[in-house]
Amino acid sequence: MQTLSAPSLMRVAVRASWDTQPRLPYNPNAPRKAPKIPKAPPTVTLTVPATPSGPSISDLLKRPSSSRVVERDEFYLGYERWLPSPPKAEKPRSMFNAASLAYVGDCIYELYARRHFLFPPLNIEEYNDRVTAVVRCEAQDALLQKLLNEKYLSEEERNVLRWGKNIGSAKTRTKRRAGAAVYNRASSLETLVGYLYLTNVKRLEEVMLKLGFSTDSSLQLI
């Protein structure tokens, strides 16, 4: 039998620890602790200040007076009118519904507004503020009331207004803000603008001029 010498003995160090906390017996029916749910961040409510009452739409459309007389030129950049030529539609009410005419009328109305504020030159923020002020449905409603109070529109044009007033539309943010009555009257004005654009551009310019928009194709800097 072979014996190991002292140098060949292997020393093994064992490290042990003792749990000094007494453990309770396992109870399967004991309630379990609910997991911790992180708290949601506090909700921050932003208060938007009310828009102060500014100048009326008619005052906003007024231009500085000038003694300079500008002769009207029937041609502008090679075209007879500054508006794009409308498609031929002898009876637009039989071809389109009121919503379609209001759709194109909204575009033509804003084109008048953007062109009106093009002179004198302003920064882009001022352009947007002025155009937005006159294309809002509240402004369109106020300008329409001006036409009705002065009895400027013909019977046919008033029929178009009544036709456009009955446009069915879903609830939108604009409609909720201004109210259904104001929204519908503004839509009727857009319908009239679209109708006149397709049938009688000259009458359209007369109506827009009556509202206060510039219609001269040779408009120059004041």
What CATH number does the domain containing 165 carry?
Answer: 1.10.1520.10
For residues 131 and 20, the model is more confident at 131
**40 falls within a domain:** no
Provide the CB-side half-sphere exposure for 84 (13 A, CA).
9
pLDDT of residue 119: 82
Total domains present in the chain: 1
pLDDT of residue 100: 93
Range of lowest pLDDT (12-16, 75-79, 125-129): 75-79
**34 falls within a domain:** no
**Residues of the chain with pLDDT > 90: what percent?**
41
**63 falls within a domain:** no
| pLDDT per residue as tens digits for the range 169-197 | 656 677 777 688 898 999 999 999 999 99
**Over 60: is that where the pLDDT of 5 sits?**
no
Q: Provide the domain limits for residue 115.
A: 97-222
Confidence bin at 83 (pLDDT 50/70/90) = confident
pLDDT of residue 128: 93
Q: Please answer whether residues 212 and 58 qualify as being in contact, where contact means their C-beta atoms are separated by less than 8 angstroms.
A: yes
d(CA 194, CA 107): 9
| pLDDT per residue as tens digits for the range 19-61 | 555 566 666 666 666 566 666 555 544 443 444 456 787 777 7
Catalytic residue set = 106
**Residues of the chain with pLDDT > 70: what percent?**
61
Enter the pTM of the model: 0.64
d(CA 96, CA 219): 33
d(CA 5, CA 168): 106
| Mean pLDDT of the chain, nearest integer | 76
Amino acid identity for residue 196 in this structure? L
**68 falls within a domain:** no
Burial of 200 (0-12, 13-18, 19+ CB in 10 A): middle
Continuous H helices in 35-123: 57-61, 92-95, 98-116
pLDDT of residue 197: 94
Range of lowest pLDDT (70-74, 103-107, 130-134): 70-74
pLDDT of residue 48: 39
d(CA 8, CA 200): 117
